[in-house]
Copies of this chain bind each other. A is one copy, B any other.
């Protein structure tokens, strides 16, 4: 159980941290100032500074670090990529700078692992190059998506075409001006067994019948210029060649995408929690009440201590998950993958909430990134399955393990 990053990762981490301080941090306000501040995604533009940052990141060798493939990516294991993801998690704009943004990173992995040469050529290459962005359409407004088998959208094969119908929402990235396609998941055989009924299809955003109905805010924030879209698909026809892996294999792909994606999310969330804690400590040091800095007042030290312990543990759990995934594969890591999905967002939410409290009113405003950190963590308690589903998975695996293990006294 060796969580130590390799020498190469350590070097990357240092370079990345320096880049974050020297390039990303000062760019944050420039980037924010270039946004439209409007809810209509048709007004959204990519702030020019982003392309500059991407250029620099690529030049610095800090590009596509997430991709375990050594040819197209950095060839890093999950344990090696994890500390880099944490560092990126300190800034909302960082993942795009390094071309490690969800859902692109997940989509790139899917295409890399399961795509045909043509699919890779046409969709993966420009994603790897940072020329286009993409989206992922799974969640639906009409059903409880916590049970993925509830999915109602359809992908009907007709000759050499697939006809897509349905409504998706929380399609992250759909509002980005560079977004070119969405990976659509839909029922292709309602009579197969539940986890073999669906398939994934690449659907270019400009296909007739695809409509972005609106962008969805999270705590009134639209995550411009990526956003979370609600999309309708009405008799949308795409070539059969756009099917990934084949009919009925949607959940198989979702499963494969799952482990590393969760680790990336969780490590970024740990970065977010660390940022919240740093801001908390800074404010608590600087502000004085009743004759003392807030940091020494009443139960405030306990709050800091509790967060430090929680973050430390959450990070170790995520690293263990990464290590298990690297060394023993997805199946051995199933419980851990669910565990980090429950633990980490909760810790990040707690950190953000505590930091807001120490900042007083300022914490609730846009003067600090705390409400966004909070919202980011809050979203993660729902995205990729709510806490409740993951707890249920953990309990089932635990019950099974306990029933079979030869117990100590």
Residues of A bordering B, CB below 8 Å: 1-4, 17, 20-21, 24-25, 28, 37, 39, 87, 90-91, 139, 141, 143-147, 150, 169-170, 216-221, 228, 271, 274-275, 277-278, 281-282, 284-285, 287-290, 294-295, 297-302, 304-306, 308-309, 312-314, 316-317, 319-320, 335-336, 339, 342-343, 356-357, 360-366, 371, 374-375, 378-379, 381-383, 386-388, 390-392, 394-396, 398-399, 402-403, 406-409
A171, chain B: closest CB distance, angstroms? 10
In the bound complex, CA of A300 to CA of B302 (Å): 10
Q: Is the CB of B409 within 8 A of A91?
A: yes
A103, chain B: closest CB distance, angstroms? 14
Q: How many copies does the complex hold?
A: 4
Q: Is the CB of A220 within 8 A of B371?
A: yes
CB-CB under 8 A from A295, the residues of chain B are: 395, 399
Which one of A24, A150, A302, A395 has the greatest number of beta carbons of chain B within 10 Å? A395
With beta carbons under 8 angstroms apart, the residue of B221, B299, B387 that contacts A357 is: B387
In the bound complex, CA of A362 to CA of B313 (Å): 31
Interface of A is mostly: helix
5 CB < 8 A contacts A-B: A3-B3, A17-B408, A220-B366, A278-B408, A313-B314
Which one of A150, A382, A387 has the greatest number of beta carbons of chain B within 10 Å? A382
Q: 4 extra interchain contacts, Cβ-Cβ under 8 A, other than A143-B288, A285-B399?
A: A139-B361, A271-B408, A278-B408, A281-B402
